[in-house]
Amino acid sequence: MLGSAAGGGFPQWNCNCRQCAGLRGGTLRAQARTQSSIAVAGAGPGWVLVNASPDVRAQLAAYPELQPSPRAAALRATPLAGIVLADGQVDHTTGLYMLREAGRPWPIWCSESAHADLTRGNPILKLLEHYCGVDWRRIELGGEFVVEGVPDVRWRGLAVASKPAPYSPNREHPVPGDNLALVLEDAATGRSLVYAPGLSEIDARLWQAMQAASVVLVDGTFWSDDEMQRLGASSKRARDMGHLAQSGPGGMLEWLERLPAGVRKILIHINNTNPILDEDSAQRAELARRGVEVAFDGMEVRL
Ligand code: MLT
Ligand code: MN
Ligand code: ZN
């Protein structure tokens, strides 16, 4: 896990909430977190970058296995075989600007609707044509794909209910594919992980994938539906922003409680306002009681 925070990171540059101020001031027991991204490897040396965070430079700098191999013959080299995007939002795509020096067109997997947003409201894919170029691979909803260079991981993109970015024409009327859950399967063992950083509802198809998985890595943005409203940070509820809160009736914790025993449950894409980031909070203790983990930068999961 390269970045376990939601957009804004933790602490957020301009935020004076109890947690951001407490982390800066050294009075809060918590870890800083960069913005939303994971990296996936199979048995070989290749890696897949999943979401390109604004913090991608620092994230790559933190892991030698994501850097050019000292044994690589080429002047410019990367173990990153391709990039998979869960949506076209700022926190998942801004890192593409920082990866423009690639020596070949980036193979980038995303849905049709994310691709539309990334060539219009946030035209980063068009911009990249002036640098490394883009080798777009369309994610067919529900279809399987493999990233060349990482052959032992099978991927599926499931359309999930959430929200595309404010610059998307679909913002208030999302279409299937604006936001994906990614199901990653180890081709050798059949064990799978569901990664869904943005999720406002759990539908039957996603629930089936979650129940069949060994690990679920799901939307941990907000503890309560009115978290941002109560802080005065936004007039919107979590659901209006495309995120299912953890607490309350129908919340994420109720869903996770119903998963089969043995499924590893991890929250990711955590907003800086979420009290689970405070390691001394009652909410964090409740997660521990329920066997729900909180992702942190540098956390490693083996399937
Ligand atoms: C979200 O997940 O709701 C967005 O990424 C928020 C943002 O733009 O930071
Ligand atoms: Mn986000
Ligand atoms: Zn804050």
Tens-digit pLDDT profile for residues 267-285: 999 999 999 999 999 999 9
CB 86 within 8 A of CB 195: yes
Q: Beta partners for 182?
A: 157, 195
Query: Distance between CA 285 and CA 43 in Å, rounded?
Result: 36
Question: If you measure from the C-alpha of residue 6 to the centroid of ligand 1, how many angstroms do you get, rounded to a whole number?
Answer: 7
- pLDDT tens digits, residue range 42-95? 998 999 999 999 999 999 999 999 999 999 889 999 999 999 999 999 999 999
pTM of the model: 0.98
- Report the nearest-CA residue for atom 1 of ligand 1: 7
Ligand 1: which atom is nearest the Cα of residue 243?
A: 3
The CB-side HSE value for 265 (13 A sphere, CA atoms) comes to 21
The pLDDT assigned to 72 comes to: 87
- Residue 67 corresponds to which amino acid? Q
d(CA 263, ligand 2 centre) in Å = 24
**If we measure between CA atoms, which residue out of 12, 74, 10 comes closest to residue 276?**
10
Backbone angles phi and psi of 266, in degrees to 5: -130, 135
Q: How far is CA 158 from CA 15, 140, 194, 205, in A?
A: 34, 9, 10, 8
Neighbours of ion ligand 2 (CB under 5 A): 7, 89, 91
Q: Is 5 in the pocket of ligand 1 (CB under 6 A)?
A: no
- Closest alpha carbon to 270 in 234, 198, 222: 222
Ligand 1 within 6 A of CB of 8: yes
Atom 3 (ligand 1) nearest CA: 241
DSSP designation for 105: P
